[in-house]
Amino acid sequence: MQRVMVVGCPGLGKSTLARELAAATGLPLVHLDFHYWQAGWVPTDKSVWAEKVKELAADPCWIIDGNYGGTLEYRVARADTVILLDFPTHICFFRALRRMLMGFTKKREGEFVDGCEERFDWKFLWFVLNYKRARRSRDLDKLAQFDGQILRFEHPKELERLWRLVG
């Protein structure tokens, strides 16, 4: 495991898992949200974003957390391991809502730049509720071309298996 993607619906705890995995393995950690969102929740231009993801994926080793389906193929081409968190929608929604409420107006250190404090965002919650229906199949299609190791977890309790593998 030298280049690990952590992907899945927003709200699952991808960033937390990636941070713990980086601490356990010593691999450098990349939060895609940190690179995508500019102060004030301004998204990076699509062409600039694609080049940034290619640059990040070109590094020799990493753990990258985040979906960003439009650039998934750049990471798939370089990764050797994919950790797919595929939890039920109600878990994703509850965790996303809890994060919004508990972290309201606070910045998630290392995950976002200054000016991207946690906020209550109905549009984001709607995205979480509709991820499986609207986006999941697209992401799974892109992962189907991956020839490395895919570790799929359908419930948080299954993550114990990951820690036994990392060891």
Question: Taking a C-beta distance cutoff of 8 angstroms, is the pair 150, 108 a contact?
Answer: no
Give the CATH number of the domain where residue 11 resides.
Answer: 3.40.50.300
What pLDDT is stored for residue 106 in this prediction?
A: 76
How far is residue 166 from each of residues 22, 70, 73, measured CA to CA in Å?
A: 11, 29, 25
Residue 18 CA to residue 75 CA, distance in Å, equals 15
Predicted structure pTM score: 0.89
What is the C-alpha R_g of the chain?
A: 15
pLDDT in the model for residue 56: 97
Say how many residues make up the chain: 167
Separation of alpha carbons 38 and 77, rounded Å: 26
pLDDT tens string, the chain, 167 residues long: the values are: 999 999 999 888 899 999 999 999 999 999 999 999 999 999 999 999 999 999 999 999 999 999 898 899 999 999 999 999 999 999 999 999 998 898 777 777 778 888 888 888 999 999 999 999 998 888 889 899 899 999 999 988 888 878 777 76
Instruction: Give the Cα separation of 82 and 113 in Å (integer).
Output: 26
At 167 the pLDDT is 63
For residue 134, what are the domain limits?
3-166
Total domains, the chain: 1
